[in-house]
Structure 1
């Protein structure tokens, strides 16, 4: 059994813990911006392939005192790097956290790199090159008070990059946040779904992928663990084939995305094609004022702009009021969720929310407001 840590956006730790448990993780415990858990190699591969909420899955290699750079260097050298990194593999070191003596991430990363390459040179007579952009092996050092935890990053690039989205609109939601919002809304595949302000389509795309049981990592170019010395290609291939075999071919309910901007809707359609769900989502260029409910009940979820103005002459306060009017007049029987990073604008919706939940869109604290439309 290995010790893992999945990093997630602030505030999503509980949801991520539930997701990891459902995927088979053991000894699951929430932390700050992450969840620790235990499991075998198959679980590590499965979590990277199937988890919708985490950014990265780290594999713990060691933990040791690190009051200063000397202790850090010595602790890193106690790890047998020959098990994970040979000189022909490139590497990169990232650092999170700090303490009084180790308070500059670049300096800390250099110390970790020096300790690793010193050991390699003594053992192999040569050392790994550093590749910041696309290394074979990513190493994470986390400084927490007087302790350093060293891990391997099994994911490679962030897991929120599903691999299907080549086209993005302005300020797009991360796919991991979209998946979390879907979870928080209580949407299930038997319910109609609409995003009337869909932008490049992240929310409808996540809905379709969930409804069709498409693994979120299936379109990625690769994962970090595929470069590791102990990579089990046969096991991973088996997981990939199982995921592909489990995909569904039909939706139980309608999924719709609309936006006023034709070019943005074309981006959404392009992303849908890349993820193989184009025929399942109804994308339409449409003004918010023209949006109609596609069924007697369902979930509406949207992420309207938070800035001062929608366009050159359009006030966002009026736009939010229009959103409230559309919900009230045309979505009776529905449950609506609106994510907003501007409390004053949110008041312009003119409806009483049944529930408000704080959600972080990057570093921006937002409110996910729930409206029961009777």
Structure 2
């Protein structure tokens, strides 16, 4: 089977998490750059990457890379790419997005126009036609210009991979599913440990954690643009990918994952989202303010996206709110807490300096992932003496 170069964009600063995911799927990494990871794979890899990757924004089939400082160089570079190897005569193709950073060519609309024109010129000569019906499968192109280096990829995903299909209603400041999954992966949390989100909103952190615990692939219940690429990917590979995902689900898993929110309607929406994700039985949602955060067990995790105070009236309440978070975490004295927020006095209000701090862009907003680490649980190296003792452990 033919091997391709595939590009997986991700949130800036989380490339290492995505890199580990791709390795775990069995594919070879060829390049890691800011906001994207390039790897090698065949047609099956396009299917599996879309179905299984939790932290990638989309999967692109890389078709070319070259240097261009003028529109003529851009036109000739595009025209030299063997588009006929990827796009059939009836294929619909367009430049869905063009981005330019530190390059001489910077107008997205002009870049899109030149690229489309060059693609048409190439395909007219190869297919010996003057007009394309564009009535077949869709092949949206994404172009990146970085320091005059052009990279092109055909979008195999379509809708961003953060759109798992379970979240119909969102809270005021939702965290994307892909970002939530990546942040959970940055922590030492495992499926046998407690996880609580006291600002759960639409339930993204608890739901993503529950899907990881049950080994539910994030893309198994949605469609992808490349499902129509029958000239490149046999349709049976998509069926086989979903079958593989079905076989890997652990339906017997038990988990202690909880989500709280002060808004009753938001909690109801979170439950509905969890039901659509197939993890309703693994999460306990409850209307509860953060000052009532408590748990009888030790060594749990608080992972949340608390309010940032983007509106003036909310900003005034932030010091008190973050002090309540700090007090709750101190009561849970063996727990770890992980907060994604742009609030600059987080550490002051929490009453301690974060053990680690990572800058993350949540959309266009610069935020920080504050990591307040608790003690590690004792190692379980003693062999249980009875069935009762095994249950107690």
- Per the normalisation by structure 1, the TM-score is 0.92
Which stretch of structure 1 is more off in the superposition, 2-11 or 111-120? 111-120
Match of 2:317 among 315, 318, 334: 315
Correspondence for 2:225: 224
Gaps of 5+ in 1: none
SS state at 2:113 partner: helix
Residue 254 of structure 1, CA deviation: 0.5
Moved more, 14-23 or 364-373: 364-373
CA shift at 1:87, angstroms? 4.7
- Counterpart of 1:335 in structure 2 is 336
Counterparts of residues 184-223 of structure 1 (less than 5 Å): 184-220=186-222, 222-223=223-224
Give, in whole Å, the separation in 1 of the partners of 2:310 and 2:65.
47
Provide closer, same or farther for how the CA distance between residues 312 and 159 of structure 1 changes in structure 2, counting only shifts above 3 A. Answer: closer
Deviation, structure 1 residue 224: 2.0
Tell me if the contact between 1:308 and 1:315 (Cα under 8 Å) persists in the aligned partners: no
Q: Is 2:139 the partner of 1:137?
A: yes
Task: Note the 1:1-374 alignment, pairs <5 A.
Answer: 1-93=3-95, 94-98=97-101, 100-122=103-125, 123-127=128-132, 129=134, 136-220=138-222, 222-228=223-229, 229-293=231-295, 295-307=297-309, 315-329=317-331, 331-373=332-374
1:308 is displaced (CA, Å) by 5.8
Counterpart CA distance in 2 for 1:55 and 1:361 is: 13
Q: Which moved more, 1:101-110 or 1:141-150?
A: 141-150
Gaps of at least 5 residues in structure 2 are 376-393
Q: CA deviation at 1:81?
A: 2.4
Query: 1:49–1:148: structure 2 CA closer, same or farther, 3 Å change rule?
Result: same
Find the counterpart in structure 1 of residue 384 from structure 2: none
Question: Which SS does the other structure have where 1:214 is aligned?
Answer: coil
Output the CA distance in 2 between the equivalents of 1:211 and 1:193.
Answer: 11
Q: Is the 8 A contact 1:359 1:367 kept in 2?
A: yes
96-105 vs 256-265, which moves further: 96-105
Query: Quick one: distance in 2 between partners of 1:300 and 1:310?
Result: 27
Task: For residue 238 of structure 1, give the secondary structure of its aligned residue in structure 2.
Answer: helix
Alignment RMSD (CA, Å) = 2.2
Q: Distance in 1 between matches of 2:251 and 2:162?
A: 24
Whole-angstrom distance in 2 between the partners of 1:302 and 1:6: 26
Partner Cα distance (1:117, 1:125) in 2: 9
1:253-303 Cα offsets, whole Å, 9 max, x none, are: 311001000111111011111111112210001111222115222111111
> Is contact 2:257–2:284 with CA below 8 Å preserved after alignment?
yes
1:363 Cα deviation (Å)? 2.9
Paired residue secondary structure (1:42): helix
Task: Report SS of the residue matched to 1:234.
Answer: helix
Deviates more, 1:58-67 or 1:6-15: 58-67
Q: Is 1:56–1:153's contact at 8 Å kept on the other side of the alignment?
A: yes
Q: CA offset at residue 84 of structure 1?
A: 2.3
Q: Which moved more, 1:81-90 or 1:353-362?
A: 81-90
Question: TM-score when scaled to structure 2?
Answer: 0.88
Partner of 1:198, secondary structure, is: coil
Q: CA offset at residue 101 of structure 1?
A: 4.0
1:15 match: secondary structure:
helix
